[in-house]
Structures are given as structure tokens and as C-alpha cells.
Amino acid sequence: MNSVFNFSAGPAMMPKAVLEQAQQELLNWQDQQTSVMEISHRSKLFMELVTQADKDFRQLYNIPDNYKILFLQGGARGQFSAIPMNLIGEKGKALYLNSGHWSATAAKEARLFCDVDELNILEDGDTLKIKSLDFTGIADQYDYVHYCPNETISGVEIFDVPEVGNTVLVADMSSTILSRQIDISKFGIIYAGAQKNLGPAGITIVIIREDLIGRARKATPSIWNYETQAKSDSMINTPPTFAWYLCSLVFKYLLKQGGVKAIEKVNQAKAKLLYDYLDQSDFYRNTVAKENRSLMNVTFTTGNDELNAKFVAEATACGLQALKGHKVLGGMRASIYNAMPIEGVKALIAFMQKFEQDNK
């Protein structure tokens, strides 16, 4: 079955072992003679699943006790609105660091709710490179500072954590969550749609420092209010139980692989193979500065739209799926999330070599 590799940016590939387990227990989960998606979210067995998922996720990502984990709906975009609704306070404004499409989209949405200052943190020029991340001189004017550590479309990753003094730091980690170790205590809120590294679409994880719960503006709808969600264990309405279940299996699977520390090593090895290949080639090019190259989304182009289209078509025919770059950027993008085995990257490189020889 692994002659096909799926490089989709999201919804993305899931670990095969997780899909097999889900398949195996689909009709009879925990001896209930029914599937997990057909039982009450408040049943004892489902509550046990939820408690264990919380525990496993905490262990995987080394989450301190003073943080709550919420499993919400509405995707990362839902959080683009929830964050200002919950965090805007006395200062009445937020700082958004713009490193590309998703951080800019988050800023645009926040403008519906509060004053936003937006700061371009990309250096001028053709190479995508992040400027200095020291905001200690200005951060205290804001209720929070928002950024996106991995821009999924351009493949720009920010490995250093912005310095914001005592101001709350908020991160959209949709395409980098669980890919490498991070110091959670530097963040006020981390959020991520599940459909890349956590599970299927339909569930959104929010890791929130407890003192930030209970600050929502009065007119915040209950489903977007972190306090009501935290008080009801993310079950103020019926949660996406099947997606939650699949995430719980992914957490267990990752723990079995050795946790994020081990996964990070594999991710570094996968990305290095691909970037090293790109660097020695004068046929393909990647325009991200070395220190900001994403471990998860590797973008490249031949510099010729027709050739790019041919590449994608021929790669697909060879079982290398979903390599077409996002429409706002063009070119190619290989998303190599946690579930992508190193064999997938090797197969891609072998194809790239052959394509280069045939089309030079």
C-alpha cells in the first residue's frame, strides 16, 4: 500500500497504524457492539477516552499543570475570532506579526473585534527570511501578540520564540504542532486545527494558560468563550467525538514512537534530505532562508509554470500525491508531517532526480 505517498498540506495523511486500529474497532468499540461515533459523549467510556487523551497530549508536549487543553470546533479560523474576543482587555489592541498568508489572515479577522497593529516580520528581498524577533520595547502596549510559527503555504518556519516581555504570546501552530519540542511556558495560548499533525479535520486544540481563562468580553458566544468551554470540559455542545477518538489514537501512536523528541529527530532527517537535494540542484529552487525553512512544508519550483504542472501530473501518476503548491503561491509543496515516513521523502527525491534529468 505504501507505493502511494500523500503530501497533502491538510487534511493530511494519518499514521497507517492509527487507521488500521480505527478500522479494526469501527463496528465494535470497547466491546460495546457499536462504534465510538454512536455513543454519548457523556458516557463513562467516552469520558475515559477524553481524560486519557488529555493525559497523553500533556505527556507528549510536556504541558505544564497550569495550562488547560480545550478540544473545540470551528478550525483554526474559529480561533482567529475567539482570541480577540477572549483576550482583548484594558489596552484594547493587539499586535499581529505578519510572516505570510495565515498570520495576515488572522490579523484581518481580529480587526473585526479590536484595534490591530500589524508588523511585517519578513525581510525585504526575494529570500523569505524572518527579521529580529525582539519586541520587548513595544509589546507592553498590547493585550497580546499573535504570530504563526509555521506558514503552511510558503514553508516559512520561525524556530525562535518572539520576545514579548510579560505580554501574552499567542501562536497559531496548525502546521507545526507536535512536530518538534517547544517550551509551552513561553506561550499564553497555542492553537491548531487537527488536520495536519493531530488527526482528522473537525477538531481544534487550544492550549491555554489558566489565568487567561475568564477574560472574555461580555458578548462572546458561549462556544467561543474559553471559560464556558473549560468549565464544561469542551462539551458545551456535542463535540466531534469521532475526530476526538482519532486524535486520541494518534497521541498513543506518537508516544509509542518515542514522543515528540524522537519524532523531531525523524522530522529533521526528512527535511534535511529534501533541502539538501534542493540545494545541490540548479533545476529546482526553494526561496526560504536556511534558518527559516519549514520542517513540515517544503516549497520548491522549477521557475516555469508549465514545467511545474508537468511535474505535479507526472508525480501523481507515480503515486506521489498532492504536490501542487497552494494557489496563492504556485509551484510545488511537499508537506511532510509526522505521519510521512522517510521512505516517502526518498521516493520523492528519486522522482525529482529523474524529472530533472528528463527535463533539463
List of residues contacting ligand PMP (CB under 6 A): 10, 75-77, 102, 148, 152, 172, 174-175, 193
* Burial class of residue 80 (count of CB atoms within 10 Å of its CB; 0-12, 13-18, 19+): buried
Provide, rounded to whole angstroms, the least separation between the CB of residue 135 and ligand PMP: 20
Residue 176 assigned to a binding site: no
CA distance 288 to 268: 16
User: Which grid coordinates are listed for 208?
Assistant: 491555554
Is the CB of residue 175 less than 8 Å from the CB of residue 150?
Answer: yes
Is the CB of residue 171 less than 8 Å from the CB of residue 190?
Answer: yes
User: Among all residues, which ones are annotated catalytic?
Assistant: 102, 172, 196
CA distance 72 to 80: 13
Residue 333 assigned to a binding site: no
Is the CB of residue 35 less than 8 Å from the CB of residue 26?
Answer: yes
Name which of 102 and 135 has its Cβ closer to ligand PMP: 102
Name which of 174 and 292 has its Cβ closer to ligand PMP: 174
Provide, rounded to whole angstroms, the least separation between the CB of residue 10 and ligand PMP: 5
Residue 237 assigned to a binding site: yes
| Three-state secondary-structure class, residue 297 | strand
Provide, rounded to whole angstroms, the least separation between the CB of residue 148 and ligand PMP: 5
User: Which grid coordinates are listed for 276?
Assistant: 539538501
Residue 77 assigned to a binding site: yes
Provide, rounded to whole angstroms, the least separation between the CB of residue 102 and ligand PMP: 4
**270-295 burial: b if 16+ Cβ within 10 Å, else e:** bbebbbebbeebebbebbbeeebbbb
CA distance 173 to 151: 9
Name which of 56 and 172 has its Cβ closer to ligand PMP: 172
Name which of 70 and 347 has its Cβ closer to ligand PMP: 70
Residue 244 assigned to a binding site: no
| Three-state secondary-structure class, residue 330 | coil
Query: Which residues carry a binding-site annotation for pyridoxal 5'-phosphate?
Result: 76-77, 102, 152, 172, 195, 237-238
Query: Which residues carry a binding-site annotation?
Result: 42, 76-77, 102, 152, 172, 195, 237-238
